[in-house]
Amino acid sequence: MLELSETQEMIRATVREFAEKEVAPKAAEIDRTQRFPVETFRRMAELGLLAIPLPEEYGGAGADYLSYVLAMEELARVCASTALTLAAHYSLGTWPIYGFGSEATKRRYIPDLAGGRKIGAYGLTEPNAGSDAGGTRTTAIRKGDRYILNGSKTFITNGTYADSFVVSAKSDPSAQGSRGISAFVLEKGWKGFTVQKGKEKLGMRGSDWAELYFQDVEVPVENRLAPEHQGFQVFMKTLDAGRISIGALGVGIAQGALEAATAHARERKAFGQPIGSFQAVGNMIADMATEVRAARLLVYSAAKLKDEGKPHTAEGAMAKLFSSEVAMRATHSAIQVYGGYGFVNEYPVERFYRDAKLCEIGEGTSEIQRIVIARHVLGRFEEGG
């Protein structure tokens, strides 16, 4: 296992204590009621968890990306909804501003996001542009010192409660594919910008989502991230790192499922002995433990590459792909270990199972991750070449 520094161990211990004492007790309740726990978000802000890798001058903790990954894992171990809220806020709603915004834009938005005074979100997916992000139909036509945005976004995590949004739009409608896209920071309350709360969902029910609608929304030029028409790189680089955090989300869910299944296998008796003593159950626990360890190493390795400033596109995709599928297998096995008890919401494993599915979809489906990895290994094949 990758050796952690004293600071990393301290961050992990702090988040674990917070997760067990304050997040876990309400995990079932927010799942059942589909309540977004604003109070938990505020507590994460107080603990300095909202921008762990950002410099202190912007209100961050000045730690590394691996420390953020550790925090994600510990939160997901007890409540994946809370972990997803953090991932959307930092990886998607805050980091792009730091990575691509002007100094003035950073100073305007990041301190409030890092301090929890504002919540961040990210608008890439549209009704007809999900995996094909180049199919963006939202437009941003420049008129003087403003862009006029028209279009919509869907499946926006934190959307109902967010104050600022990093959004993609076609600034050159004549450009083909991913060309001609720009990235912008929008604020809730701007004229023509409306938010509609999302419908009931399978899992991550304590995490909010919404649909965004833009009707002649005026966006100042200074709110553009990166040069005009070069916004696609903003979203791709954001996803490169964001996929590592979703990998950590999967590891945390799988670890929670493993711990629950292990405890039940020790306590539950059948035919006069703990069910864990039976080979069929023992084999499931062994497979879960092995895969969780492997997934964790993939995630930590990808995070370390990012911290070292090395390419990590393929490694992040591998970490997300493997971890999300491990989470699905681990939660499935946990329900099998629990038997009928695993099928009712009195125990957490059915929630883990429902939550895990999002990891195979969000920030690029498993199928997209395989495309990214294959292109890295094989190279990009040009048509007819």
The answer for 165, left when phi > 0, alpha when psi is -120 to 50, beta otherwise, is beta
Domains belonging to the chain, first-starting first, are 6-114 (1.10.540.10), 120-229 (2.40.110.10), 233-378 (1.20.140.10)
For residue 278, the 8-state DSSP code is S
Q: What is the pLDDT of residue 384?
A: 45
- Statement: residue 134 has pLDDT above 80: no
Average pLDDT for 104-124: 97
Render pLDDT for 264-307 as a digit per residue (tens, 0 to 9). 999 999 999 999 999 999 999 999 999 999 999 999 999 999 99
- Statement: residue 245 has pLDDT above 90: yes
Which residues lie below 8 Å from residue 128, measured CB to CB, with a gap of 6+? Answer: 135, 137
Q: Which two tokens stand for residue 168?
A: 């993609």
- Statement: residue 385 has pLDDT above 90: no
Q: Per-residue confidence at 194, pLDDT binned at 50, 70, 90?
A: very high
Lowest-confidence segment of 41-50, 174-183, 197-206 by average pLDDT = 174-183
Q: What is the pLDDT of residue 381?
A: 66
The 10 Å Cβ neighbour count of residue 345 is 12
- Statement: residue 383 has pLDDT above 70: no
Dist CA 167 CA 165 (whole Å): 6
Residue 346 is among the residues annotated as catalytic for this protein: no
Q: What is the pLDDT of residue 3?
A: 87
Average pLDDT for 173-177: 87
Q: What is the pLDDT of residue 1?
A: 58
Instruction: State pTM to two decimals.
Output: 0.96
Q: Which residues pair with 182 in a beta bridge?
A: 169
Half-sphere exposure of 176 (CA within 13 A, CB side): 0
Please tell me which residue in 315, 350, 363, 383 is annotated as part of the active site. Answer: 363
The residue whose two tokens read 């090395």 is: 310
Which of 125, 155, 153, 163 minimizes the C-alpha distance to 41?
163
